[in-house]
Amino acid sequence: MNGKNTSTQKLSSHMFFWPVMIGATSAVGLISALVADGLWDAMSWALLAIPVALSAYFSWRKN
């Protein structure tokens, strides 16, 4: 019974890793856009472009 819980936890952490990373990237990009100027604006543009680029890539790629 303990082995099943461990494999379920591994599956959950593996499955949610990239969505959490994309969400964290978006959050940092939004916060940096609101809080600072200069290079922070460029960083926010770059960080906010990552989810858009990933969405476009996975929408247009062929199976």
Distance between CA atoms of 10 and 13, rounded to whole angstroms?
5
Instruction: For the chain, count helices (H), then strands (E).
Output: 2, 0
What integer pLDDT is reported at residue 14 of this predicted model? 84
- Closest by CA position to 46, among listed 60, 59, 29: 29
Q: List per-residue pLDDT tens for the chain, 63 residues long.
A: 555 566 666 777 788 999 999 999 999 999 999 998 999 999 999 999 999 999 999 999 876
Least Cα distance to 25 among 13, 36, 17 occurs for: 17
What tokens were used for 21?
Answer: 């990373």
Residue 2 pLDDT: 56
pTM: 0.74
d(CA 6, CA 8): 5
